[in-house]
Amino acid sequence: MIRFAKPPLVAAAVCALLVASLAGCELPIDKAASPADYLPDDPEPTLSDDLPPPRSGSIEVTLTWTTPKAPDAIGAGTDLDLHVLHPEGEDWFEEEWDGSPYNTEPEWAYGGGLTAVDTEGQGSETFGISGPDVGRYIIAVHHADDDGLGRSEATLQIRVDGELLLETKPVSLDQGWIWEAAVIDYELGTVEPVETHRGDAVMHPISQPLD
């Protein structure tokens, strides 16, 4: 687990709540999964209408990828999508809460959003949030289209308040699969990769909405 400076608006009592271990979070590949399947139980909402205005600070997530079978292994023709799920969100492709190529400028990004959307190459795609709301943001990568070239290898960089806190190893993805990669807790001040108890990446097939 990687920690960053905690938001000054969070009470000490709240900071005492630690994120539960993600051990044993592997999902059967034939199960229709949602982010709630592997996150720790959180009966109390992390965001409500009576919270103070967004604090200063930033979150920036950058996706790049390569495709070994593509010419020169640069990923030509493949399409991987970056997803950032807001603390109020419950599942991928939610119209309001999932920041992605389907929702490039959500209101909760406060002027940020998804930039440099790449549908036929190696990325990069970057999602930024200015003055993030407190709570847990879930970061994922969806392999939307392999253009007949097979698997791609995705890498993520996560910066909080301008500091690079997590850079993942390349993760191999098939078309139609989503890699649920990391949780940024802007309330507790932590960035944590999502892994199984064996240290493997958490991924599963998923259906995307029609364009």
- Give the residue-averaged pLDDT of 67-87: 80
How many angstroms separate the CA atoms of 27 and 132, rounded?
Answer: 29
Residue showing tokens 């996150």? 39
Residue 110 lies in a domain: yes
pLDDT at residue 195 above 70?
yes
Residue 143 lies in a domain: yes
- Give the residue-averaged pLDDT of 191-210: 90
Residue 46 lies in a domain: no
Can you give the pLDDT at residue 47? 47
107-130 pLDDT tens trace = 999 989 998 665 555 668 999 999
**pLDDT over 90, % of the chain:** 54
- Give the residue-averaged pLDDT of 39-51: 54
Residue 150 lies in a domain: yes
Relative to beta strand 98-99, strand 202-205 is unpaired
Specify the CATH number for the domain of residue 19.
Answer: 2.60.60
Can you give the pLDDT at residue 80? 93
79-115 pLDDT tens trace = 899 999 999 999 999 999 999 999 999 999 998 999 8
pLDDT at residue 156 above 90?
yes
Residue 70 lies in a domain: yes
Residue 50 lies in a domain: no
How many angstroms separate the CA atoms of 164 and 3, rounded?
Answer: 11
Q: Which two tokens stand for residue 52?
A: 């103070």
Residue-number span of the structural domain to which 88 is assigned: 2-23+55-205
How many angstroms separate the CA atoms of 174 and 149, rounded?
Answer: 10
Can you give the pLDDT at residue 55? 54
Residue 151 lies in a domain: yes
Residue 154 lies in a domain: yes
Count the domains in the chain. 1
pLDDT band at 25; cut points 50, 70, 90:
very low
Mean pLDDT of the chain: 80
Phi/psi at 198 (5° precision): -95, 0
Q: Is 134 helix (H, G, I), strand (E, B) or coil?
A: coil
* CA-atom Rg of the chain in angstroms: 17
